[in-house]
Amino acid sequence: MLAQFKIVPIGKGESLSTYVAECVRIVQGSGLKYQLTPMATIIEGGWDEVMEVIGQCHKKVRSMSNRVATSIEVDDRGGHRDAMEQKIRSVQDRLSQG
Amino acid sequence: MLAQFKIVPIGKGESLSTYVAECVRIVQGSGLKYQLTPMATIIEGGWDEVMEVIGQCHKKVRSMSNRVATSIEVDDRGGHRDAMEQKIRSVQDRLSQG
Amino acid sequence: MLAQFKIVPIGKGESLSTYVAECVRIVQGSGLKYQLTPMATIIEGGWDEVMEVIGQCHKKVRSMSNRVATSIEVDDRGGHRDAMEQKIRSVQDRLSQG
Amino acid sequence: MLAQFKIVPIGKGESLSTYVAECVRIVQGSGLKYQLTPMATIIEGGWDEVMEVIGQCHKKVRSMSNRVATSIEVDDRGGHRDAMEQKIRSVQDRLSQG
């Protein structure tokens, strides 16, 4: 499955890149496939391993800020491997069919 | 902390109440404080117990549908108990101050 | 249709009730049916009127803060009036059927 | 500002690429800068033009399906141009600083 997540400390400074970088380091350490987008981080894996990683990220940012807003969106589809590439390719195929 | 979640099977019928009811039963079984809104279910608890319950809900709906979109939003703030009531009351106080 | 929205200033204080109250006042002024939950505000109406109101709220909070994160979730279903009550009732009916 | 959106027809088939492709065509027609990710579409522009485009996409998918769930996340920050590249670069800078 794919999960997209975003972790925002409330009441800290306007810049969030420090917190995002902390999370990316945790994601990289997990060995899960991931993609950083301008709005969130996307990771691919099973429910338990994905939620374990996002939980570590949330708790890390929470240790740096007294209030944290975290959002997670999951797309879990049976029988689909390499969903990250497949989903983009599938839309591009439609577009090229005109 | 508070977590709001919504679990939507993709490619099943237009009505979702069967799936929501399955999740509400799981939430009720957990003993966690919860509130059903027209757009989502809100539960209150620690990260691990909350995510355990949402994971059970997700897996239940996933067992009924081959593709499931789940979204979770967390508001985790230190030193705030009974956040469900407090947050509403705090806004109402502001409003009544005019 | 129903729309649930949340507007969070980034880099301001930890408490958000001032901003939520500003938005609730705008929503009340619109005359649209609404419900305040511990995680968001839900309003009911057509796409254009709903987005007009949310846009006013976003711009108001943006005038008070240099960075604002806004999230909106829409549930738009044909032939369903009074969706706010109907959706809850429909789940409760399922639950009472056991 | 940046806006990330996702439009999901409820009660249609399991594959969503047809609907995503319809939306990408509308986004391309708008001339706004955009990026397609495995979980959503990100566009860059002012509130009104961005919401106009997302509204067109929502209404298009709604014309193809009786129930549609749309989610929008906005990151609106003053004084930041080319936010799509800047946000990624800013995180990469942090990461390379070790």
On average, the pLDDT of chain B sits at 95
Neighbour tally for D87: CB within 10 Å: 21
Which residue in C62, C66, C74 is closest to D58 by CB distance?
C74
Q: What is the pLDDT of residues D36-88, one digit of tens each?
A: 999 999 999 999 999 999 999 999 999 999 999 999 999 999 987 778 999 99
DSSP state of C79: T
State which H helix or E strand residue A85 sits in: helix A83-96
- pLDDT for residue B71: 98
Please state the φ and ψ torsions of residue A38, each to the nearest 5 degrees: -65, -10
- In whole angstroms, what is the distance from residue B86 CA to residue B81 CA? 8
Query: Sign (positive/negative) of CA torsion A44, A50, A56, A57?
Result: positive
| C66: nearest CA partner in chain A | A14
Distances (CA, A) of D54 to A24, D15, D21, D26, D68: 29, 21, 13, 9, 13
Write the burial class of residue D97 (CB in 10 Å: 0-12 exposed, 13-18 middle, 19+ buried). Answer: exposed
Q: pLDDT tens-digit profile of A46-77? A: 999 999 999 999 999 999 999 999 999 999 99
- Which percentage of chain B shows pLDDT scores above 90? 90
Q: Residue C33 burial (CB < 10 Å; 0-12/13-18/19+)?
A: middle
Confidence at residue C98, expressed as pLDDT on a 0 to 100 scale: 67
Say what the pLDDT of residue D83 is: 84
Cβ–Cβ below 8 Å for A59 and B47: yes
Using DSSP's 3-state secondary structure scheme, residue A43 falls into strand
- In this structure, what DSSP letter does residue B41 have? E
* Per-residue buried b or exposed e for A12-36, using 16+ beta carbons within 10 Å of the residue's own CB: beeebbebbbbbbebbeebebebbb
- Is A5 a residue whose pLDDT tops 90? yes
Each residue of C47-96: pLDDT tens digit?
999 999 999 999 999 999 999 999 999 999 998 777 899 999 999 999 99
Q: Does A83 touch chain B (CB under 8 A)?
A: no
> Does the beta carbon of A77 lie under 8 angstroms from any beta carbon of chain B?
yes
B-chain CB neighbours of C71 within 8 Å are 73
pLDDT band for position B81 (50/70/90)? confident
What integer best gives the mean pLDDT of chain A? Answer: 95
User: Any CB–CB contact under 8 A between A86 and chain C?
Assistant: no
Contact between A14 and C67 under an 8 Å Cβ cutoff? The reply is yes
Alpha-carbon gap, residue D82 to C66, rounded angstroms:
16
Residue of C nearest to A8 (CA): C10
For testing the chain C interface, which of B37, B50, B61, B96 should be mutated: the one with the most C CBs within 10 Å? B37
Taking an 8 Å cut-off on Cβ atoms, the answer to whether C11 and A8 are in contact is: no
pLDDT value of position D93 = 92
Tell me how many degrees the CA angle C56-C2-D20 measures, rounded to the nearest 5: 90
Nearest Cα of chain B lies from the Cα of D37 at a distance, in angstroms, of 16
CB contact residues (below 8 A), chain C span 4-33, against chain D: 10
Task: Output phi, psi for A16, to 5 deg.
Answer: -115, 0
- β-pairing, C67-77 with C41-44? unpaired
Q: How far apart are the first and last CA of chain A?
A: 29
Residue A79 pLDDT? 86
Q: What are the pLDDT digits (tens) for B14-33? A: 999 999 999 999 999 999 99
Task: Kindly list the domain boundaries of chain B, sorted by start residue.
Answer: 2-96
**Which one of D14, D38, D71 has the shortest CB-CB distance to A42?**
D38
Q: State pTM to two decimals.
A: 0.96
CB count, 10 Å around CB of C86? 15
Helix or strand (DSSP H, E) at D1: none
| Both tokens assigned to B31 | 């003993």
Using CB atoms, which residue from C37, C77, C94 is nearest to B21? Answer: C94
Tens of pLDDT, residues C8-41: 999 998 999 999 999 999 999 999 999 999 999 9
Q: Please give the CATH architecture assigned to the domain spanning B2-96.
A: 2-Layer Sandwich (3.30)
Helix axis angle for D83-96 and A17-30, nearest 10°, is: 60
Report ipTM (2 d.p.): 0.95
> Please, are residues A15 and C10 in contact by the beta-carbon 8 Å criterion?
no
**Averaged pLDDT, B46-56:** 98
CA–CA separation, D96 vs D2, rounded Å? 25
